[in-house]
Structure 1
């Protein structure tokens, strides 16, 4: 079990001396060294309590005969970074997170790793690092925030964003907005809906890298702290059995996670992150295969923003294990998981405890999954929509384009009443390279929802929409504008045809006209400067690829 190269033997006396400078004793240095990767900070509600989670993990490691050593990585709060310069840095942080963990874990040769994430880019960044390092690893997140209450109804962060649009439209008072602001986020934890953070934590459990309950136990419950202790104990068992991330995150496990993604109605950003994780695993996922999984998987849950239920409701209904039990007929249950057992063994005692939250597979919300990938002359390499949160009347839509180079111009148009029923709002130069950083845009979608236009207006972008988004919001349009994608040459008034059930996204111009426009606009596209042209984002823009790759760096 012991493989550490930095504490054993005569020639490692200088190394042990440095450990002893920190108070470690010989007995600790003779045990396996377990790296605890903690993204704790005091700027993100999902991460503020992670010191407590990490301490519980360390207790479990010590109980099982290991020596825990904690180190940190960065994190960005998407909600706080939203709709200003900060959002350019969010997706880009994923690569820094993966790289920084690789550096520290490899430089100090830990025997095994426990990852303690919670929010949007941290979870996939850590999964990418785990795949890359491939030492025995396990995850325990900080858990979801509890839902708030406003006028005796459950609310979450997305409701506050939508309320801003309602105030602008004169449908809500500023006093009510303040009351909602005061009550929407009542505890620490990842924001309470099936937004990107909770989506990725649920999928971490579904893929087998976290213990049962990891995706849904609320942050403030003692059950979460107990789970963290068991996670610390379990990493020692995984180390003894030499079970590694690439053993757990097999191609079959990735497909299991995709099926759970579709059943839950997860954030469209999960596709971006699953592609990137698969890239690290050298187990490429084809976008057409994602559509196939979606077509074969029923949507069993409609959590906020698609419905009024929240992650705590999913927890009480039996959590991810209950969802997987409903899907057992189509999952590969032979895969190994972080429990050290197969998925089939894990699911033996799982049960759906509330069919109002988790519909039976025989009576789903929809016969197809919560996410769809669209193709057409506007998105030759694909675009992604959270179809489970789209109103039925917007699943097929045609309308004139209103085109904006960047989020700010689109938000100004929406807030000033320039967008009317039937329009298709096109927001471009927000891709991974063109933004740079592929900003998440919750403000325009929430403003339209708050104004009551989410069932009448579609949005599409080469950037991203938040997991808190609902409505016909189509993101990840690839190739992006800066990579000479067709979205770069859409003009005001062009008719855009959206057919989500048929997986189609087209602008109604001829192939010849499209070619002529792209040829004539090449110099203008080249001249278009990203909004940040220095520092890390300059280097990021030079290396990153369009969203259909998972926005990974060029090899």
Structure 2
């Protein structure tokens, strides 16, 4: 066993002495050491229950013949970090989490890992570490919260509250109504109840083979989630004995499967950013154009909030969850590689075959899909030669081709101030730039401005383009991850107020409609801005981070 390096032999007497002081018994020294990477914190509702949840995993590991060692990572709540400088730390936290898991596993020679994650950056950060380490690893997440209620009794979630701010600003809601909404929209622990980034990534874990069936959709408060924790603790000993390991699971074929699921259910745009980062750790070349090819052949058969307001993750679970979606996709040849292995045992085809048929409403049949192509699209064009991402499932079909005039803001705060003054008008294409991985730094999410636009009734009349990114809860004509970013000399830095802009989702294009000569003149006149003056982690991050089309990973030559 790998852990023998710290527990076997004469020269390891001191190591064994320390292990005994941590509670390791004599008999434990002959057993495998299983790391339980927990992301419990009181600050994040998706993680507040994970202390007791991980205890079930540890109990099951011990019953199955292993010795569990729990350690923790950090966890940032994107909703709480939203709209202020704290959001700049959210995406960078992914790299810290990956490094922390790698550090603990390597320093203590752990034999295998169970990753207990849930929210936005924690799942991808731990997945990056798992692929980097290539130790037998299984994920079990904390699960989604239940949907909340509006004052009128309709369904609500966190995004409903953020949009309520814009509704109050435009006179469509009173402050008292918003107060009642915020008190009822997030009723339980768990990741947010819609198809936002956390739940999107936790569903993709099933498709890529790194989690057991039900991981993405069983609610946090459902007793089946506790059964899943126990099953994960038992299963990790089987993986240690027979495999497969993460690099046998995370392959180009399994990432294709994950993106097919992503397209079928209209997941968060952030899944592209994070999955590219995982591909990098796996040593895979995964270009953005490949994602468009998957989208072109994969129908969208499941729309969840924010794409539709009345369907939430618990409804997807009741309709059969991820396995039911995969089963429906498996009916059409070429949508999935069913031979891919999974950590649950068997193949993805076995998992799909055992799933229930879709209900036809929450999860539609292929013949009755919401759209013939997927719920995410990568746009290219003279504004985004390296690509940009839009959640097409959340865009009104009447806005899939949109022409307007640029309204340029140097950063999110300036855009929020203009929205607060009600200065954004129908026909505007709002540009928020210098908010990319390096320019932000940290590529902050833009949930506040997108929610204000929608809350002010401008969701179909205004587009937003940024080199930053969006919350998984964003809906509407919102295009992010524009690459190269403005801070790296990308064309988004050349846009001026009043420039005509054309967005064409079916053609996968994002273009500024100005003459070539004007382009050349602006390029010649552009000078790079001074980098944000940052000390500490963000200062190191902005010096090392790559662009969004590479997953915003740290440059391997500099990290």
- TM-score when scaled to structure 1? 0.98
Report what 2:92 is aligned to: 92
**1:353 Cα deviation after fit:** 4.5
5 Å-filtered alignment, 1:357-376, equals 357-376=362-381
Equivalent of 1:510, from 504, 508, 515? 515
5 Å-filtered alignment, 1:482-501, equals 482-501=487-506
Checking the alignment, whether the CA contact within 8 Å between 2:3 and 2:33 is kept in structure 1 is: no
Checking the alignment, whether the CA contact within 8 Å between 2:435 and 2:441 is kept in structure 1 is: yes
Checking the alignment, whether the CA contact within 8 Å between 1:4 and 1:111 is kept in structure 2 is: no
Report the Cα distance in structure 2 between the residues aligned to 1:86 and 1:285, rounded to whole angstroms.
Answer: 31
Report the Cα distance in structure 2 between the residues aligned to 1:386 and 1:53, rounded to whole angstroms.
Answer: 33
**1:544 Cα deviation after fit:** 0.7
Q: Deviations over 1:508-552 (max 9, x none)?
A: 112332122122112xx233x32x511110110001111111111
Report what 1:53 is aligned to: 53
Report the Cα distance in structure 2 between the residues aligned to 1:514 and 1:55, rounded to whole angstroms.
Answer: 59
Report what 1:420 is aligned to: 425
Checking the alignment, whether the CA contact within 8 Å between 1:316 and 1:353 is kept in structure 2 is: no
Report the Cα distance in structure 2 between the residues aligned to 1:254 and 1:181, rounded to whole angstroms.
Answer: 37
Q: Deviations over 1:307-348 (max 9, x none)?
A: 120000001100000010011132111111011211122222
**1:352 Cα deviation after fit:** 2.9
Q: Does 1:440 align with 2:445?
A: yes
**1:422 Cα deviation after fit:** 0.7
Equivalent of 1:526, from 521, 524, 529? 529
Report the Cα distance in structure 1 between the residues aligned to 2:214 and 2:259, rounded to whole angstroms.
Answer: 18
Report the Cα distance in structure 2 between the residues aligned to 1:270 and 1:199, rounded to whole angstroms.
Answer: 7
Secondary structure of the equivalent of 2:380? strand
**In the superposition, relative to structure 1, how do residues 2 and 417 fare at CA in structure 2: closer, same or farther (>3 Å)?**
closer
Report the Cα distance in structure 1 between the residues aligned to 2:389 and 2:23, rounded to whole angstroms.
Answer: 51
Report the Cα distance in structure 2 between the residues aligned to 1:29 and 1:480, rounded to whole angstroms.
Answer: 52
Q: Does 1:399 align with 2:400?
A: no
Report what 2:268 is aligned to: 267
- Which is worse superposed, 497-506 or 352-361? 352-361
Report what 2:341 is aligned to: 336
5 Å-filtered alignment, 1:51-450, equals 51-150=51-150, 151-307=152-308, 308-328=310-330, 329=332, 330-450=335-455
**1:3 Cα deviation after fit:** 5.3
Q: Give unmatched runs, 5+ long, in structure 2.
A: none
Report the Cα distance in structure 2 between the residues aligned to 1:322 and 1:445, rounded to whole angstroms.
Answer: 32
Report the Cα distance in structure 1 between the residues aligned to 2:67 and 2:272, rounded to whole angstroms.
Answer: 36
Q: Deviations over 1:468-490 (max 9, x none)?
A: 10100000000000000011110
**In the superposition, relative to structure 1, how do residues 44 and 27 fare at CA in structure 2: closer, same or farther (>3 Å)?**
same
Superposed CA RMSD in Å reads 1.0
Report the Cα distance in structure 1 between the residues aligned to 2:529 and 2:93, rounded to whole angstroms.
Answer: 25
Report the Cα distance in structure 2 between the residues aligned to 1:4 and 1:47, rounded to whole angstroms.
Answer: 33
**1:128 Cα deviation after fit:** 0.3
Report what 2:5 is aligned to: 5
**1:413 Cα deviation after fit:** 0.8
Q: Deviations over 1:25-74 (max 9, x none)?
A: 01122110000000000100000001122111111111111110000111
**1:305 Cα deviation after fit:** 0.4
Secondary structure of the equivalent of 2:449? helix
Q: Does 1:468 align with 2:470?
A: no
Secondary structure of the equivalent of 1:44? coil
Report the Cα distance in structure 2 between the residues aligned to 1:179 and 1:354, rounded to whole angstroms.
Answer: 34
Report the Cα distance in structure 2 between the residues aligned to 1:550 and 1:22, rounded to whole angstroms.
Answer: 39
Q: Does 1:26 align with 2:42?
A: no
Secondary structure of the equivalent of 2:482? coil
Report the Cα distance in structure 1 between the residues aligned to 2:243 and 2:300, rounded to whole angstroms.
Answer: 36
Checking the alignment, whether the CA contact within 8 Å between 2:2 and 2:110 is kept in structure 1 is: no
Checking the alignment, whether the CA contact within 8 Å between 2:267 and 2:472 is kept in structure 1 is: yes
Q: Deviations over 1:192-239 (max 9, x none)?
A: 000001111011111110000001110011110110000000000010
Checking the alignment, whether the CA contact within 8 Å between 1:4 and 1:110 is kept in structure 2 is: no
**In the superposition, relative to structure 1, how do residues 297 and 191 fare at CA in structure 2: closer, same or farther (>3 Å)?**
same
Report the Cα distance in structure 1 between the residues aligned to 2:400 and 2:102, rounded to whole angstroms.
Answer: 42
Q: Give unmatched runs, 5+ long, in structure 1.
A: none
Checking the alignment, whether the CA contact within 8 Å between 2:325 and 2:358 is kept in structure 1 is: no
Checking the alignment, whether the CA contact within 8 Å between 2:358 and 2:364 is kept in structure 1 is: no
- Which is worse superposed, 478-487 or 544-553? 544-553
Q: Deviations over 1:433-469 (max 9, x none)?
A: 0000000010100001111100100000000011110
Report the Cα distance in structure 2 between the residues aligned to 1:441 and 1:240, rounded to whole angstroms.
Answer: 45
Secondary structure of the equivalent of 2:141? coil
Secondary structure of the equivalent of 1:403? strand
Q: How many residues align?
A: 551
Checking the alignment, whether the CA contact within 8 Å between 1:352 and 1:358 is kept in structure 2 is: no
**1:354 Cα deviation after fit:** 2.0
**1:2 Cα deviation after fit:** 6.5
